[in-house]
Structure 1
Amino acid sequence: MNLAFHQTTATGPAVVCLPMFSLSRAATAAAFSPALAGAGLREIYLDLPGHGDTPANCAPTSQAVLDTVCAWLDHHLDAPALLAGGSYGAYLATGIARQRPDLVRGLLLVCPGVTIARDSRDLPDDPPPTAPPGWLDAAPATLHQHLDAALGQRTPAVVATVLAALDSGGPGDATFQQKLQSSPDYALPDETAEVTFDGPVTVLTGRQDRIVGYADQFRAMRRYPRGTFTVLDAAGHYLPYEQPTPLRSLTQDWLRRISGAS
């Protein structure tokens, strides 16, 4: 349960924010803090095992990572938390809601992974939006293919914001991350389980997200009877950095629904 974390000084209900794969709690704070500002919540940003400043202190499987997060929640919080996450962090949040619903009041899922196996994802096949010449010039060549698939808001400014997020926070453990991502146990064992979560859920997806798509996420809404689903144009897999204004609006709506459910 030894996870590096940062929390705000607010004394309200806890919202625990889980990062995208390979990203740090600093990158997660840059993504979610503007959307949560002024809500009076105790914002908690975690570094997963082998990410940021947290050592690789568990087996390189998603179930072990999830169990470590659950142990942290059990130890540090005395009431169910709101869970927010992007991509892999959102994938873990949905797993926690399935396996330990007693720990969760509501879910904010941004570009969530639904299925880990890449060849099983339903990805958009439309051509990407046009981009100005040289829009990727500031990015290392090793990231060009990834960012070309990931971004719907294709401008030098967004690329710079995403690069800053990728470079922020602790170094992580690249060996652990590679073992985790290449393991057959990268998928949670109950990934396809049809388990219903009854709390307020908001799911945001990017119309041009060619990493996880948006169609699998819509089909998964049957698991969330109190769920809101949004697909945003001109947004991809890094939606919080591409479309911060709609993210804040939809987050505030989620929080109003949380308050109404209390």
Structure 2
Amino acid sequence: MTLHHVSVGDGVPVLALHGWTPDHRLMTGCLEPIFTQHTGYRRLYPDLPGMGQSPAGDIDSSDGIMAAVRAFVDEQIGDEPFLLIGESYGGYLARGLVAERPRQVLGLGLICPVGTLWHKDRVLPEHAVLRTEPGVLESLTEGEDFTDLAVVQSAAALAAYRSDVAPGLAIADTAALERIQKNWALTTAPESGPPYDGPSLIVCGRQDAVTGYEDLWGLLPHYPRATYAVLDVAGHNLQIEQPALFGALVSEWLQRVPTGGRQLV
């Protein structure tokens, strides 16, 4: 299966995997403003099967999605070392991929990642709204679900939600996703192998009521080079609610990742 994708820039490959239901715009929206400040990277943003413009075909499991991601890496990156970033469910896949290719992945970045797979088993905070700007709620159109997850109800967060999140949600193949979710667990658990010693970043929202932050603490022994950050006033859309701090953490992570002697800034 060939995944629809967007490629930006030249240099060291960076593979960015979005979360469950949205599409690649979830990642381009938050990462491209950061990478405009850092030269020498080729960013690859695929749509996962059943999401965006990538058809699900007969895929009926996370193993099937992982196989499609694995084929995408072979096609677009080959055996070249690359950086890997995953958000939410994409973080679950990224953990599985780095377990398969620890020597090829230069560094791992996880944004509000799925730690405990099944929602019923997660330790989660209550959803809370901590910032609201006048007029934002009144500007919502009928059926917009911005408030379902928003911890920051600002004009800027709403604009980012409308450009980065909502378009993917609107075109997802819900029937295929329901089928796949029945076999959601990867056959090989992500942390079943040796610890990954590459520079890593795990960034979570203190008010993330979807994946939480407490469960991710348990992953740290497996990632001895990880920065683990829990941001206050941030939910599952942390990247659009705390963009400045998010950008600073990603930039610092990029500085820690080895690039084979290439001069990157």
TM-score range, shorter chain: 0.7 to 0.9
Q: Which residue of 2 aligns with 1:177?
A: 177
CA distance, structure 2, for counterparts of residue 36 and residue 200 of structure 1: 18
Spell out the pairing of 1:200-239 with structure 2 (5 A cutoff). 200-239=199-238
Offset of 1:143 from its aligned partner? 5.5
CA distance, structure 1, for counterparts of residue 119 and residue 84 of structure 2: 25
Offset of 1:126 from its aligned partner? 7.5
Amino acid at match of 2:35: L
* 1:177-206 per-position Cα deviation (integer Å, ceiling 9, x unaligned): 22223x1x1122333744311111001111
CA distance, structure 2, for counterparts of residue 192 and residue 8 of structure 1: 28
4+ runs of 1 displaced by more than 6 Å?
A: none
Conserved 8 A contact 1:73-1:103: no
Conserved 8 A contact 2:235-2:241: yes
CA spacing shift, 1:64–1:102, aligned 2, 3 Å: farther
Larger fraction in helix: 1
Offset of 1:37 from its aligned partner? 2.1
Q: How many residues of Structure 1 are paired with residues of Structure 2 in the alignment? A: 257
Spell out the pairing of 1:2-13 with structure 2 (5 A cutoff). 2-10=2-10, 12-13=11-12
Q: Which residue of 1 aligns with 2:94?
A: 93
Q: Which residue of 2 aligns with 1:164?
A: 163
Q: Which residue of 2 aligns with 1:151?
A: 150
Q: Which residue of 2 aligns with 1:64?
A: 64
Q: Which residue of 2 aligns with 1:81?
A: 82
Amino acid at match of 1:154: Q
CA spacing shift, 1:60–1:244, aligned 2, 3 Å: same
Amino acid at match of 1:61: S
Q: Specify every segment of 5 or more residues in structure 2 that has no aligned partner in the other structure, as ranges.
A: none
CA distance, structure 1, for counterparts of residue 205 and residue 191 of structure 2: 24
Q: Specify every segment of 5 or more residues in structure 1 that has no aligned partner in the other structure, as ranges.
A: none
CA RMSD of aligned residues (A): 2.4
* 1:43-98 per-position Cα deviation (integer Å, ceiling 9, x unaligned): 11111111111111352211110121011112221312111121111111011112
CA distance, structure 2, for counterparts of residue 249 and residue 15 of structure 1: 18
Amino acid at match of 1:100: R
CA distance, structure 1, for counterparts of residue 184 and residue 211 of structure 2: 15
CA distance, structure 1, for counterparts of residue 142 and residue 122 of structure 2: 26
Conserved 8 A contact 1:206-1:232: yes
Q: Which residue of 1 aligns with 2:122?
A: 121
Q: Which residue of 2 aligns with 1:258?
A: 257
CA spacing shift, 1:156–1:99, aligned 2, 3 Å: same
